Amino acid sequence: MKRRADDGLVGLLGQLGRVAVIGGSEDYTGAPYFSAMASARLGCDMSHVICTPAASAVIKTYSPNLMVHPLMRQSSSSSSSSDEGDADTIARPIIDLLARLHVLVIGPGLGRDPLMHATCARVLAAARTRGMPVVLDADALALVTATPSLVAGWREVVLTPNVVEFARLWKGVFPDREKGEYLRTYADPGWRNESLRVQSVLSSRDRYVVAGDEMTGAPGQNAEGRVWAWDFMTGELKATVRVPWGPAGLEPKKIIGKDGKEKERTNVISCVAWRMGGDEDEFSVSGTSGVVTVFGCS
């Protein structure tokens, strides 16, 4: 089967994107449907939902455009070590589907069931081995809080927490070992974070997505970093902000490589934060230079 894209090119069905959402349980059927349909309405050719049989029967009635796979299972009332063995069996056909997909979304409507989470952990490990882009949302973020090593250092994974979920992530990944409070200082090298970064945020009352340049791989100019702001609803690029290395006197030092040539240094932005309050919004960014730069918004 062939289809004609908006640009006039003809291609096979599936070439414009194949996305799967893992979620949907006995109690939650709306979230995986909306997540999968969002990708379809943005032009994705094939949108899959991988859920429990109970959720499958309901989600199939929402739209004929979705491919629904009832492969997930919830724990029995006597859940124990047997569920761990079941997770391997349940995950196997889902892992077999990964070769047919471009992107995986895990979490919408997933719930907190232990067997569901154990199954997702195994699918995540397989997706990571394949270098597959993955989005973790909603209840899937509890997996990261419990086991940060699942995603630590994985550049193709994106976490999308809300304020409450971010607080849980922060406390789970960076607990204060003495008092159980949030991280108090960055001075101790034992607290250094090299695995998880706040690379993009929703801003200005969820109107824009603000992101640093870490994921682009393209260097800026004169050791500058860059931040982009996109309209959340249309995807239109609204602004590009250049971020200097730092104030005068903090210019990047020259580093000579083994080949005798000077290495290029760019302030790659890997952390973005947004604050609303008072008369103006503000956002702050930081990256390679270690300098935090604060911008006001008009």
pLDDT digits (tens, 9 = 90+) for 117-128: 999 999 999 999
Decide if pLDDT at 182 tops 70. no
pLDDT of res. 3: 46
pTM over 0.85: no
For residues 108-135, average pLDDT: 95
pLDDT of res. 262: 75
pLDDT of res. 190: 58
Out of 3.90.550.10, 3.40.50.720, 3.90.105.10, 3.40.1190.20, the CATH code matching 2-160 is 3.40.1190.20
For residues 86-93, average pLDDT: 94
> Could you give the residue range(s) of every CATH 3.40.1190.20 domain in the chain?
2-160
Place of tokens 């947004």: 274
pLDDT digits (tens, 9 = 90+) for 22-64: 999 989 999 999 999 988 888 888 999 999 999 999 999 999 9
